Amino acid sequence: MASQPSVHKVAFLGDYPPRKCGIATFTRDLRDAVAAANPDWNCPVIAVSDQPEAYDYSDDVRFEIPQPDVASYVRAAHFLNLSHTDALCVQHEFGIFGGTAGSHVLGLMRRVRLPVVTTLHTILETPDADQRRVFSEIISLSTRVVVMAERARVMLRDIYKLPMEKIDLIPHGIPDIPFTDPSFYKDHFDVAGRPVMLTFGLLSPNKGIEGVIEALPEIVAHHPQLVYIVLGATHPNLVRESGENYRLQLERLARDLGVEENVMFVNSYVSNAELYEYIGAADIYITPYLNEAQITSGTLSYSYGAGKAVVSTPYWHAAELLREGRGVLVPFRDAGAVAREVAHLLGDRKRLNAMRKQAYLDGRAMIWPKVAQAYTEVFERACAHYRVAHRPSGSVRFGEHSHLPPWRFDHVLRMSDSTGIFQHARFSVPWFEHGYCTDDNARALLFAVLLEELGECPPEIRHARSAYAAFIQHAFVTETGRFRNFLSFDRRWLEEQGSEDSHGRALWALGAVVGRTTSENLRAWAASLFETALPVVGTFTSPRAWAFTILGLHEYLRAFAGDLLAARMREELSGRLFRLWRDTATPEWPWFEDVVGYDNARISHALILTGRWTANDEIKKAGLQSLRWLMENQRGARGCFRPIGSNGFWHRGGKPAEFDQQPIEACAAVGACIEAFNTTGDVFWRNNAQRAFDWFLGANDLKEALYDFFTGGCRDGLHANRVNQNEGAESTLSFCLALAEMKALDNTTAAFQNTPVIE
C-alpha cells in the first residue's frame, strides 16, 4: 500500500461561542473532540461573527470573519492557504454566512487550495432559486459532505443529485454523561419528588412551546406536581427585533391557563455542566417543533443520548431517531395528543424506564469520542483522495511548456549572504534558525558554474559564487579528510563530520568547477581540494555518495582526463554500483536496493555516464534499464511526472509512496534523462526530461506550479492536498539546476539542428 498522507492541521469554519447558537456549540464541541482524539493535530477555528462588537473568543479562534463582509471570506481563504492547513471542516447553515442565501462563503470555498469537508445542518426539500444555487455550489466545492440522518443522504441524492459515495453519515455528537436517576439532580432546581418535563435551546416561535403549555392543564389534571422547564435564552435575533415579547406571551399563556406554577422559565444560556444537570433532572424531554423540515436537532440528540424518554413532533430528525417505539411521536400543533401521550407515559413508569434505557444504549454510538474518530477518518480520506476537481482552471498540462521560463535570481540571492546560502525559508523569507549546510552550498556552486558555461551568469551570482566556494573550503577538515555539513547561523559547526552524501555532493560541485569554469584561480583551488577530499570516498558505503562522486569525477576528468587516480576511483565506484545492481536487480525489480528512496535517478545517471565515457556497455545498459524502469513508474494520472514520495518511499513488494513529492527528484530525473538522451539519441529520454521539468511548472498531480514565477524560488514539495509554500535552498536550487540543464539541452539541440549536412 502507498503511504497515506499525514494530517496535521484541520481548521474548523462556523460560528463559535460565545456566540449564542446551537451550531456554534456544535462547532466548538466537534473541534474539541477531534483535537482530543488527535493530540498531535493543530485545530484552529475560523469564526463567523454576527455583531459589530467583537466577541471574547477563546485562543482556539485564529481568524474572525464579520458575517456581512464579503472581503473577509477571501482573506480567510488566503490565510488558510498560507498556514499549511491540511483540511477545512465547514459547518453549513444558511443563517451563518452573509450574502444572499449565505453566498459569501462561496468566496472562501472557491479559493481554498485544500480539501473541504462540509457538515450540513440544514437540507431544504423545496429551496428557492438562490438557495438551490448556493447550496449546490457548496456541495460541489466540498470534497466530502457529512450528514446526521439517513434521510439527509437520500435527499442529497434525489434533490441535489449528489453521488452517495461522496456523503458520510455521522450522528450528531453528544457528551458522554452517566445514566442516572432523575431524582439525583432534581433537588438542584427545587423540584425534588416532582415529575419533570424539559425543553431547552434558544427560545423562538418555531419551537412550538405554546402547544406544550396548552397541553399542561390536562396533564396536570393527572399529574398535578408536574414541572415543565423551558430552558434557554431568547434567540438573539428575536431579542434584537422585538425584545422579550415572545417569552412574555408564553408566560401570559401559562397564567391564563392556570398552570404558571407548573412552568419554570430559565432565561439563560447555560454552560455545558449546567445543561447536563438540567437534562439529568428530566423524566421526559419534549421537542414540539412546528416545522417538519428539520434534518438535525442537537437538543434531541443530547437528550436521547443521555437516556431520556422523548416526546416529539415528527420533524425529520425525530421521525428517524425515534422510530420503532424508541420515543413517542405526536402530530404537529396537536396539544391534545401531547397531553394524552405525556400523561400516559408518566403513568407507566415501566414503559418510561424501558424507553430511557434503550435511548441511553443507542446513544453510546453518538458520544463525541466516537463521532470524532469518524470525522478523523473522513478528514484522512478527503486528504488522501483530494486532487484537482475543485481547483481553478488554467493549470499546466504536460507538454505545454516546450519553452523555458526566463532566469530569475531574486530568491537565490535573497537566500545568500557572505557566508553562503541558507538552508531553509519560511515562505520566501530566509530562515536563519536553520543556518547553512554543505549540501546546499555545493548545489549553489554547481549552479553558478553551469550558469557561467551557459554565458548567463550575472555579476551578483558570480560574486555569491565566492561565498559558496569559501563555505565548502571552510567545511573541509584536513585531519579527517571529511567535509562537515551543518553550520549554525552564529557560525558554529554542529558536527565533526557530515554525511557521506554531503561529501559526495561537495566533490560533484568541485569537479564541475574544475571541468567548466574559465577562472584559472578557481579551477586551481577546486582541483586541489578535490584531490585532497577524494581518497576517503573509498571507505564510503552510501550508493548515492558513490553516485555523486562519480558525477564529480566525470566533471573533473573533462579537464584532466589523464588523471589515473581519478579514473581508477570512477572505475571502483561504478563497479560497486554495478555489483549492487547485479546482486539485487530482478526483471520485476530492476533496481540497486530493496527500496527506492531519494535522489534516485542520480544512481542511474552515474552508471550511464561511466558506461558512455569508458565504453562499458554492460554498465551503460544497467544505467539505462534502471532509469527507464524508474521513469515508467514515476508516472501519475494524465501521464504527468510523479516522483517517488518521501512519505514512505517505495519498498520492494509494496507500492510507491505518492507523496510527499520533492523537487530534488524532478531535478535528478531531468539530469539523468538528458544524459540518457545524449548517450542514446532516443527521443524517449528527451521527452521524459521535459516531463520531469514540467512537474515544476504545474504538470503534476495537483496541477499546481512549484516554481514561483514572482520570487524566482521553488516551493518545498507537493503534499497530497497542497503545495508546501516554503521556498528552501534545496528546492530552489533543484529547479535552477534543472532549468540550466534544460537550457543547455536546448542549446545543444539547436546547434545540432543548425549544423549543415555534408553529403
Question: What's the average model confidence in pLDDT over 378-398?
Answer: 60
Residue 468 confidence (pLDDT): 98
Q: Give the pLDDT mean for 326-354.
A: 95
pLDDT for res 379: 95
Q: Average pLDDT in the 292-296 region? A: 87
Number of Cβ atoms within 10 Å of the Cβ of 387: 15
Detail the DSSP E strand segments found in 29-141: 45-49, 61-66, 87-92, 116-120
**Which strand (E) or helix (H) includes residue 74?**
helix 70-82
711 φ, ψ (degrees, to nearest 5): -95, -20
Question: What's phi and psi for 147, nearest 5 deg?
Answer: -125, 165
Q: What is the pLDDT of residue 388?
A: 40
Q: Which fold has domain 605-745?
A: Glycosyltransferase (1.50.10)
Q: Are 156 and 167 in contact (CB under 8 A)?
A: yes
Q: Which helix (H) or strand (E) holds 256?
A: helix 245-256
Q: What is the mean pLDDT of residues 27-54?
A: 94
CB of 441 closer than 8 Å to CB of 420 = yes
- As given in the structure block, the three cell numbers for residue 272 are 455545558
What does the domain layout of the chain look like in residue ranges? Answer: 10-173+371-385, 183-365, 419-425+433-584, 605-745
Q: What is the mean pLDDT of residues 105-118?
A: 93
Give the closest residue to 597 by CA, choosing from 541, 651, 671.
Answer: 651
Q: How far apart are alpha carbons 96 and 60 in whole angstroms?
A: 19
Contact of 298 with 25, CB cutoff 8 Å: yes
Summarised one tens digit per residue, pLDDT across range 720-730 is: 888 999 999 99
**pLDDT surpasses 50 at 696:** yes
CATH 1.10.3720.10 assigned to 419-425+433-584: no
Q: Are the C-beta atoms of residues 234 and 201 closer than 8 Å to each other? A: no
- Cα–Cα distance between 724 and 329 in angstroms, integer? 53
Query: Of 339, 223, 203, 219, whose CA–CA distance to 266 is shortest?
Result: 203
Query: Mean pLDDT lowest for which of 352-366, 397-411, 579-593, 663-677?
Result: 397-411
Position 394 pLDDT exceeds 60: no
Tell me the per-residue pLDDT of 140-150, one tens digit each, with 9 for 90 and over. Answer: 999 999 999 99
Q: Residue 271's pLDDT is what?
A: 85
Q: What global pTM score does this model have?
A: 0.62
Judge if 10-173+371-385 and 183-365 fold alike in CATH terms.
yes
Residue of 167, 91, 147, 164 whose CA lies nearest to 296:
147
Mean of the per-residue pLDDT values of the chain: 91
Calculate the alpha carbon distances from 533 to 84, 439, 525, 552, 717 in Å: 41, 15, 12, 12, 32
Residue 623 CA to residue 607 CA, distance in Å, equals 5
Count of CB atoms within 10 A of residue 571's CB?
A: 16
Class at the top of the CATH hierarchy for domain 10-173+371-385 = alpha beta
CB 9 within 8 A of CB 85: yes
Ramachandran area for residue 698 (φ above 0: left; ψ -120 to 50: alpha; else beta): left
Residue 550 predicted with pLDDT over 70: yes
- Please spell the DSSP secondary structure of 652-684, one letter per residue: TTS-----SB-HHHHHHHHHHHHHHHHHH--HH
Residues recorded for the chain: 759
Residue carrying the nine cell digits 439527509: 152
b/e per residue 541-558 (b: at least 16 CB within 10 A) = eebbbbbbbbbbbbbbbe
pLDDT digits (tens, 9 = 90+) for 429-465: 999 999 999 999 999 999 999 999 999 999 999 999 9
Whether the pLDDT of residue 270 is over 60: the answer is yes
CATH topology of domain 183-365: Rossmann fold (3.40.50)
* pLDDT of 757 higher than 70: no
Helix, coil or strand: residue 79: helix
For the segment 31-46, the average pLDDT, to the nearest whole number, is 96
Stretch among 42-46, 211-215, 223-227, 269-273 having the lowest mean pLDDT: 269-273
DSSP string, 567-622: HHHHHHHHHHHHHHHHHH--SS--SSSSEE-SSTHHHHHHHHHHHHHHT-HHHHHH
Above 80 in pLDDT, residue 403? no
For the chain, give the percent of residues with pLDDT over 90. 81
> Can you tell me the distance from the alpha carbon of 311 to that of 228, in angstroms, rounded to the nearest whole number?
13
Using DSSP, state whether 175 is helix, strand or coil. Answer: coil
pLDDT, residue 239, reads 86
